[in-house]
Structure 1
Amino acid sequence: MDRRTFLSSTTALALGTVLSGCQSTQQSALRIRLLRGSVPALLTKEFRQQFGQGNSIHLDVRPEAQLQDLFDLLQRWKRQATGEIPTPKPIVPLPIPWIGTSPNQQAANLISLGDPWLAVAIRQKLIQPIVVDGWKNAAPEAWNAWNSLPSLFQDLVRRNDDGMNEGNRQIWAIPYRWGSLAIVYRKDLLAQKGITPPTDWADLWRSEFQGHLSLPDQPREVIGLVLKKLGQSCNPVDLQKIPNLRSELQGLQNNVKFYSSQHYLQALILGDTWIAVGSSSEMMTQLRRNPNLAAVFPASGTVLWADLWVQPALAQPAPANSNVDRLIAQWTTLGLQAKLAPQFTLISQGTSPSLLTLNPDDLPEALRRNPLLYPDRDRFSKSEFLQPLSPATAEQYRQMWESIRKDR
């Protein structure tokens, strides 16, 4: 299940890495569970070079295929701790130093989470706040990296105990990668038919795209792009107060051939559609392989998403200023370092949150020319993360989505 599927529903040793030869009681162990492909090997190599020299560190990194798998792990660890399900026994009767315990047996120190899951994880008490202020003395380079982040990313992870962006807020995560909802199209087919390429959401309503457009099967993203087209925030309190929203949705639907959050790229490559909307990270591989595809970061701004580092609530707390506490600070902010952010962005198919704070002249040309990884500043400034919905607003989304889809 990807982040869009999650949004819709709500409104083992591979890649393991050890920095030292074998684990002993003197080692600082850092257990990490992450989304496969979201963190390049570059990060582990750099971590080894910066913090492994002269230190006895056991770094256990294990990937999961989907963000939903990682969220399920958080829930499983909690159920094990409360006795709802038994803790699994190790596969072998005695621990093997280079393998350690079963991956589900002990909660990780850090785990990847998509931003749509953050509010739910907080409400279910699956994660704990991150005490960033303690980094000032323990890990000043990590503190500086966090403190230099644009407010958009800091505000994303500041939540109250109900997971909302209001009231008394703590820091619950560290963003390490972001992307966007974008437009992708077949530039060869459009050129053959003399159709001007799209630059903004309003182009999706053009008559020449009738029957040739695919949209995500996800109400918040589709309604969000319509809101952006109308010059509105994609986080409205009351959908009923948005002028022309329903009529704009109906007009857009006239052009839609199908809704899909998974198969839109295949249809585009086969020529079944000419233009589609989807996640920037999913587009990146095909854009590199297929010269007939081109993508657009919409001029009116768009919906953003982020991958985050969170600390499971059941992980053994790391004492302030301890070695493990410093390692957590250093790992979560490594991809934010100015010297690593450009390369991290190019390899991971998502943008480091610190990239837009850097001097464009210092960035590789391949990055500066990529509108998805390095969008125009004005377009980015008009973009937003989706915020948690109140029950009343979530019901409005559900009703409007069901009503519009019935009209097909």
Structure 2
Amino acid sequence: MTNGRNSEGATDTGGKVWAAPYRWGSIVIAYKKSKFKKLNMAPIEDWEDLWRPELAGRISMVDSPREVIGAVLKYMGASYNTDDINSKVIGGKNAVRQNLASLAKQVRLFDSTHYLKAFGVDDVWVAVGWSSDVLPAAKKMRNVAVIVPKSGASLWADLWAIPAASKIGTDQIGGRIRGPSPLIHQWIEFCLQSARALSFQQGVLPGAVPQALNGPIIEMPKELTKVNRPKLDTNLLAGVPPPHILNKCEFLEPLPDATVSDYEWLIRSMQTSGPGFIERLQHKMSTVIRVLQLKLHAKIS
């Protein structure tokens, strides 16, 4: 998980290693089993279940443009990192727009801050968000299941990095050039040890150790498995999706300018009752565009 990246942020075997991951996870879907059982509804297994008529207005979701539109792309059998929607998605932008509009009617709340609060008080029965948010909240609730969609989901990672501005001179009396601690590399090595998987397996930390992405899951000592604790209904094992699902999961990659423009068009076309949703998404997309423009200006300079 320490693959290099180039100056554009894309993975590159010859690129630099900018940061070291200490945990990772995925987007997950949590749902209230008690509500589903009471109404005799089938459990949620994949993205397509979010479009079921009986769940209209019963879903909350993070308001990240990449995750919202990405869910639609996965529903349509495409990749989160599709770089040309018109040529690589059946039906092109118009088909994506139609499915996005129907998803917006299903979702009662798009809000990365409050989506789990609505789930906790039963305003909604389904919550779609990052496992680092959802798992700790779900463990405090009863009759909740958390799944990674069987067609795959986006992956996230938390990283240790040394800021480029960590060596700063100062004119203050007694000032010195301050650099990173000489122990920083030992700390990173410690965080990358496979033995740290235990804290994730015990549920102390939501997520999984980096080694779990490409290697076998380390089994928890038997004496620790006997500890009585509520068992969450999930297809995650020590924070890791099953291998057949993990193979379909993706880390988000930078999008080309043309695709960013497609995302803007899709967001503007949405109709939703959620207050300020379109404005928030447009703000986030404009931030992405500004970053791309700064990179382009730097290249020209």
- Mapped contact 1:175–1:308 kept (Cα < 8 A): yes
Larger Rg: 1
Q: Which of the numbers 334, 338, 341 marks the counterpart of 2:194?
A: 338
Cross-structure match for 2:60: 214
Q: Which amino acid aligns with 2:235?
A: P
- 1:249 equivalent to 2:100? Answer yes
Cross-structure match for 1:127: none
- Mapped contact 1:335–1:341 kept (Cα < 8 A): no
Q: Which amino acid aligns with 2:208?
A: T
- 1:278 equivalent to 2:142? Answer no
Distance in 2 (CA, whole Å) between partners of 1:391 and 1:376 is: 34
Distance verdict in 2 for CA 1:228–1:259, change over 3 Å: same
Cross-structure match for 2:163: 312
SS of 1:184 mapped into structure 2? strand
| Identity %, equivalent residues | 37
Q: Which of the numbers 46, 61, 69 marks the counterpart of 1:200?
A: 46
Q: 1:300 deviation in Å?
A: 0.6
Q: 1:374 deviation in Å?
A: 2.4
RMSD of the alignment, in Å?
2.7
Cross-structure match for 1:160: 6
Cross-structure match for 2:69: 223
Distance verdict in 2 for CA 1:355–1:370, change over 3 Å: farther
Q: 1:368 deviation in Å?
A: 11
Cross-structure match for 2:205: 348
Distance in 1 (CA, whole Å) between partners of 2:135 and 2:14 is: 38
Runs of 4+ in structure 1 off by over 6 angstroms are 366-369
Q: 1:407 deviation in Å?
A: 8.9
Q: 1:202 deviation in Å?
A: 0.8
Q: 1:178 deviation in Å?
A: 0.9
- Mapped contact 1:336–1:353 kept (Cα < 8 A): yes
- 1:296 equivalent to 2:147? Answer yes
TM-score, normalization: structure 2? Answer: 0.74
Structure 2: runs of 5 or more not aligned: 169-179, 275-301
Distance verdict in 2 for CA 1:246–1:287, change over 3 Å: same
Distance verdict in 2 for CA 1:184–1:368, change over 3 Å: closer
Q: Which amino acid aligns with 2:264?
A: R
Q: Which amino acid aligns with 1:284?
A: L
- Mapped contact 1:335–1:344 kept (Cα < 8 A): no
Q: 1:270 deviation in Å?
A: 1.5
Structure 1: runs of 5 or more not aligned: 1-152, 318-322
Higher relative contact order (CA 8 A, sep 6+): 2
- Mapped contact 1:178–1:351 kept (Cα < 8 A): yes
Q: 1:308 deviation in Å?
A: 0.7
Distance in 1 (CA, whole Å) between partners of 2:186 and 2:13 is: 29
